[in-house]
């Protein structure tokens, strides 16, 4: 049984000007996503600026999200760390708070050998009976999990059931599918590769683009799975530029700017991130206007 099929939003953590978490805006963003058919919420991931949250804030944000969602869609908590003991701690606490599953990124900065990654993820998965989604994003972490390592973890650890594949290389996703006989759930970690991932048996996407057009991203996946592949392809192509413009600067700077333009939060980010450069804001705004997101 898949954790979810469709589109999950990698949700932002909105902040107030003073830097504290803006829970009122957070609740409204969650409601906007659910109302527009988002199939799951991923909280405290990269887009949620988890690495700039204290452990207390991290867990408070997860707990708030779980309560706000109230079982309407799965809540997947980001509990990864470059420290195995910290990842175990966050995973246990997120489990106790009621998260439905965990998203665990490869250890950043420290990095690890492939054997080290097997040991790390096996230890973290042992801290919970909830399902685990591996998160492979070497462009952010400097640490790449090979398809063989991912397959080993899938075959040897019962609750490692899925991978968020964000290398940007379709051959990596295809090799994972081949090595796991198509049984491991694969989610695209890149909004420009949703349909390609679906074409090799993927279950959906963990999306940044969904902040801006949640219904359309949901429908891209749903239409493909209904057999309406032409519609899914057309949506992928239509929103290609918007997906790219949400990465004009390092994520989540542009999506924070976009949600600010939509009136959902004030766009604040935590240092070392900074507000989106004016010239890039203009490019993003123009594309959002062209796509009818902003009137």
Decide if pLDDT at 50 tops 90: yes
C-alpha to C-alpha distance for 240 and 118, rounded to whole angstroms: 35
Decide if pLDDT at 82 tops 90: yes
Question: What is the per-residue pLDDT across 153-195, written as a single tens digit (0 to 9) for each?
Answer: 999 999 999 999 999 999 999 999 999 999 999 999 999 999 9
Q: Is 252 helix (H, G, I), strand (E, B) or coil?
A: coil
Contact 92, 62 (CB under 8 A): no
C-alpha to C-alpha distance for 36 and 9, rounded to whole angstroms: 11
Contact 185, 169 (CB under 8 A): no
Per-residue confidence (pLDDT) for residue 17, from 0 to 100: 84
Decide if pLDDT at 1 tops 80: no
pLDDT confidence of 295, banded at 50, 70, 90? Answer: confident
C-alpha to C-alpha distance for 113 and 89, rounded to whole angstroms: 22
For residues 175 and 2, the model is more confident at 175
At the top level of CATH, the class of 6-228 is alpha beta
C-alpha to C-alpha distance for 119 and 139, rounded to whole angstroms: 22
**Percent of the chain's residues with pLDDT above 90:** 96
Question: What is the per-residue pLDDT across 94-106, written as a single tens digit (0 to 9) for each?
Answer: 999 999 999 999 9
For the segment 9-35, the average pLDDT, to the nearest whole number, is: 96
Per-residue confidence (pLDDT) for residue 79, from 0 to 100: 98
Question: What is the per-residue pLDDT across 116-165, written as a single tens digit (0 to 9) for each?
Answer: 999 999 999 999 999 999 999 999 998 999 999 999 999 999 999 999 99
The mean pLDDT of the chain is 97
Domain boundaries, the chain: 6-228
> Maximum CA pair distance of the chain?
52
Question: What is the per-residue pLDDT across 257-285, written as a single tens digit (0 to 9) for each?
Answer: 999 999 999 999 999 999 999 999 999 99
Per-residue confidence (pLDDT) for residue 18, from 0 to 100: 79
Kind plus residue range of the DSSP H or E element containing 47: none
Residues with catalytic function: 135, 164
Per-residue confidence (pLDDT) for residue 129, from 0 to 100: 97
Decide if pLDDT at 230 tops 80: yes
């Amino acid at each position: 049984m898949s954790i979810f099929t469709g589109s999950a939003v990698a949700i932002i953590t909105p902040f107030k000007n003073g830097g504290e978490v803006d829970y009122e805006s957070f609740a409204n963003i969650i409601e906007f996503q659910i109302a527009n058919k988002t199939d799951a919420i991923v909280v405290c991931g990269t887009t949620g600026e988890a690495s700039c949250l204290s452990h207390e804030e991290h867990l408070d944000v997860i707990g708030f999200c779980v309560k706000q969602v109230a079982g309407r869609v799965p809540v997947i908590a980001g509990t990864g760390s470059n420290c195995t003991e910290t990842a175990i701690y966050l995973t246990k606490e997120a489990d106790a708070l009621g998260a439905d599953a965990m998203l665990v990124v490869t250890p950043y900065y420290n990095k690890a050998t492939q054997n080290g990654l097997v040991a790390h993820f096996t230890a973290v998965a042992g801290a919970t009976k909830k399902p685990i989604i591996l998160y492979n994003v070497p462009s952010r972490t400097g640490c790449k999990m090979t398809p063989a390592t991912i397959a080993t973890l899938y075959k040897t650890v019962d609750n490692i059931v899925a991978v968020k594949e964000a290398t940007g290389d379709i051959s990596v996703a295809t090799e994972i599918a081949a090595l796991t006989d198509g049984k491991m759930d694969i989610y695209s970690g890149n909004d420009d590769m949703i349909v390609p991932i679906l074409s090799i048996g993927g279950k959906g996407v963990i999306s940044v683009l969904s902040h801006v057009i949640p219904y359309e991203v949901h429908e891209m996946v749903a239409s493909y799975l209904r057999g309406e592949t032409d519609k899914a392809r057309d949506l992928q192509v239509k929103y290609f530029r918007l997906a790219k413009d949400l990465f004009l600067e390092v994520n989540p700077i542009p999506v924070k700017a976009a949600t600010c333009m939509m009136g959902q939060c004030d766009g604040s980010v935590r240092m070392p991130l900074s507000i989106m450069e004016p010239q890039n804001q203009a490019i993003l705004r123009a594309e959002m206007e062209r796509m009818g997101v902003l009137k």
